[in-house]
Structure 1
Amino acid sequence: MTGAYPNMEPSCVLIAIYITAVLHSSVLTATLLDEKTRKTPQAAEKANDLSCFVCDSMDAGERCSNLNTSGVSFIHKCHDDRRICMVKRYSYSTTTENSTYPTKRLWSLQRNCTNKCEPGCIVIGERTKLYACTVCCGQSLCNTMNDGAPYHRHSSVVILLCVLLLTPFTS
């Protein structure tokens, strides 16, 4: 396998092959979904006011990962039935005998509008782990997160409730 890539480690070649396969399968799936989607007249009439950040770190590099400096150029109006903002993060980590806590290294980050989104992470491998994580949200410009962990909209409400419930016991 390293004959085609003589200067790359075998684990890096496997990572590149896996990520390429995942990216191509998601494009194929999106194409098939678009061809089979049917809408009722009421669904077709509803206006789509959603805007999301749309970029790919493979093309835009660090600017896609760090929206604080260049996020405005990636704002796009979503069209048709694409009513969900999404972030997909592809990363990997390598564990050796001496490492106890491997660091995830970013391979690719994609932000987009979509019509179907399944949040969560898929992890493959043991010593070299590949992570494909997806985060979904439904408000305009909400796809700013970079971590790829499931995004919880109500986390601040839960924290507030915990503080209010624990306050009588600490007084």
Structure 2
Amino acid sequence: MKKTLSMLIIASASFGFMASSHADTATKTTKAEYDAVKDRADADHKAAKKACDSHSGNAKDICEAEAKVAHTKTVAEAEAAYKGTPKATEKAHKDVADAEYKLAKEKCDDLSGNAKDVCEKEAKATHEAAVADAKAGKKITDAKQDAAKDKRDAEVKAEKEKCDALSGEEKSRCIGAANAKR
């Protein structure tokens, strides 16, 4: 039950990341901002891994996997915001899903028998769902962009059609104004 709850928490955190990163990619960040976030994430990751040295065995592995998830989320979000493309956002979601999957598998290592098998299957299912959501999110974003382009094209065609009633210089200005709306 505890493992199922943690899987649900991971899945909901992934969904929250996905929703927020789709909104964040509308505002692209600069290269300097991206580099600063990445450098800070690297420093935080190094410190978190050093803190894991006080653990041993699987507890250390879990600690390091948690540090990796935090690092991956930060860097992936920053890269998606910097690139600002649906493909970058999809890659970020997949990277986070992969890191969370590795963490979930590490947590399963403390179990044995059927409980371990169930834990690993739940981790795999959560991972596959997160990857599918990442792909779907990209498709939705692409579809929205295509729809916006189609709408603009239709509006330009309608404006140009209105220009057909004009002639000479007035028609040229009208067509130029319609084309400027693209």
- With normalisation by structure 2, the TM-score equals 0.26
By percentage of residues, which structure has more helix? Answer: 2
By percentage of residues, which structure has more strand? Answer: 1
Structure whose CA Rg is larger? 2
